[in-house]
Amino acid sequence: MIQLDQLEFWLYRLGGVAAFLVLLTALLGFRRADRRPTGYQSGPAARWLRFPLVILATLIFFLSGYLLWKPLPFELSPQSRLALDLMGALIFFPALALYLWGLVTLGEMFTASSGFGVRLPEGQRLIARGPYGFVRHPMYLGVILAGIGGLLLYRTWAMLLFAFLMLGLVVRARREELALAELLGEEWLAYAQQVPAWLPRFRRKGSFHV
CA torsion angle 22 121 62 105 (round to 10): -10
Q: Quick check: 89 pLDDT over 60?
A: yes
* Mean pLDDT to the nearest integer, 83-101: 97
Q: Quick check: 49 pLDDT over 50?
A: yes
Could you give the angle at the alpha carbon of 48 between the alpha carbons of 24 and 142, nearest 5°? 40
Which has more confidence, 57 or 153? 153
Could you give the angle at the alpha carbon of 32 between the alpha carbons of 27 and 37, nearest 5°? 135
Report which DSSP code applies to 117. E
In a domain, 113, yes or no: yes
Residues 157, 29: Cα–Cα separation, whole Å: 29
- CATH number, domain with residue 187: 1.20.120.1630
Owning domain of residue 164: 8-194
Q: Quick check: 22 pLDDT over 50?
A: yes
| pLDDT for the residue numbered 162 | 95
| pLDDT for the residue numbered 42 | 74
Task: State how many domains the chain has.
Answer: 1
In a domain, 208, yes or no: no
pLDDT band at 134 (very low <50, low <70, confident <90, very high): very high
In a domain, 111, yes or no: yes
What are residue 69's DSSP bridge partners?
none
pLDDT band at 54 (very low <50, low <70, confident <90, very high): confident
Question: Cβ-count burial of 28 within 10 angstroms (0-12 exposed, 13-18 middle, 19+ buried)?
Answer: exposed
* Mean pLDDT to the nearest integer, 100-116: 87
In a domain, 80, yes or no: yes
In a domain, 41, yes or no: yes
| pLDDT for the residue numbered 204 | 47
In a domain, 3, yes or no: no
In a domain, 210, yes or no: no
* Mean pLDDT to the nearest integer, 161-183: 91
